[in-house]
Structure 1
Amino acid sequence: MAPFRVSADSVDIAIFARAPQPGAAKTRLIPALGAAGAARLQRRMILNALNNAIRIDSGRITLWCSPDTRHHFFRALHAHCGVKVSRQLGPDLGTRMAHAFAVHGGPMLLIGTDCPALQTAHLATAANVLRDGRDAVFIPAEDGGYVLVGLRQPQPLLFENIDWGSEQVMAQTRERLDGLGLRWAEPLILWDVDRPSDLARLATLEDFTEWSS
Structure 2
Amino acid sequence: MSTRIIIFAKAPVAGRAKTRLMSVLGAEGAARLARHMLTSTVDACLGAAIGPVELCMSPSLNHPEWADINLPLALELSHQGEGDLGCRMARAAHRALVDHGAQQVLLVGTDCPQLSPELLRHSARCLSSLDAVLHPTRDGGYALLGLRQFNPHLFTDMPWSTPQVAALTQTRLAALGWRYQRAEQLQDIDEPQDLLWLTASWVKALQTPITEASHHV
- In the superposition, the TM-score normalised over structure 2's length comes to 0.88
Q: Which residue of 2, 14, 26 maps to 2:6?
A: 14
**Corresponding position: 1:23 with 2:15:** yes
Give runs of aligned pairs for residues 188-207 of structure 1, distance below 5 A: 188-202=184-198, 205-207=199-201
Tell me how far 1:208 sits from its aligned partner: 1.6
**CA distance in structure 2 between the partners assigned to 1:158 and 1:93 by the alignment:** 12
Q: Aligned to 2:127, what secondary structure does the other structure show?
A: helix
Q: What is the match of residue 156 of structure 2?
A: 160
Aligned to 2:114: 117
Amino acid paired to 1:185? Q
Asked if structure 1 preserves the Cα contact closer than 8 Å seen for 2:187 and 2:197, the reply is no
Partner of 1:88: 80
TM-score by length of 1: 0.89
Q: Distance in 2 between matches of 1:168 and 1:209?
A: 29
The letter for the 2-side match of 1:102 is H
Distance in structure 2 (CA, Å) of the matches to 1:157 and 1:209:
38
How far has the Cα of 1:81 moved from its partner?
Answer: 3.1
Q: Distance in 2 between matches of 1:29 and 1:206?
A: 18
Q: CA deviation at 1:129?
A: 0.9
Q: Report the alpha carbon displacement of residue 116 of structure 1 after superposing the two structures with TM.
A: 1.1
**Partner AA of 1:122 in structure 2:** L
- The count of residues paired between Structure 1 and Structure 2 equals 199
Residue deviations 1:63-98, cap 9 Å, x none? 000122231245x30xx4331111102310111101
Q: Distance in 2 between the 1:11 and 1:171 partners? A: 25
- Gaps spanning 5+ residues in structure 1: where? 1-8
**Aligned mates of 1:175, 1:153 — CA distance in 2:** 17
RMSD over aligned CA atoms reads: 1.3
| 2:67 maps to amino acid | H
Which whole-Å deviations, capped at 9, do the CAs of 1:110-160 have from their partners, x for residues lacking one? 1000111221111111100112x2111110001100000010122211111
Q: Which amino acid aligns with 1:25?
A: A
In structure 2, what is the Cα distance between the partners aligned to 1:130 and 1:117? 20
Q: 1 CA distance for matches of 2:67 and 2:149?
A: 32
1:40 and 2:37 correspond: no
1:97 maps to which residue? 89
Offset of residue 199 of structure 1:
1.3
Q: Deviations over 1:172-200 (max 9, x none)?
A: 11111111111101220001000111112
The match for 1:129 is 126
CA deviation digits over 1:1-60, x for unaligned, max 9? xxxxxxxx2211000001011100000011111111111111100011000011111111
State the alpha-carbon separation in 2 of the partners of residues 69 and 206 from structure 1.
30
Aligned mates of 2:68, 2:8 — CA distance in 1? 14
Divergent runs of 4+, >3 A: none
* 1:189 maps to amino acid: Q
The aligned counterpart of 1:72 is 67
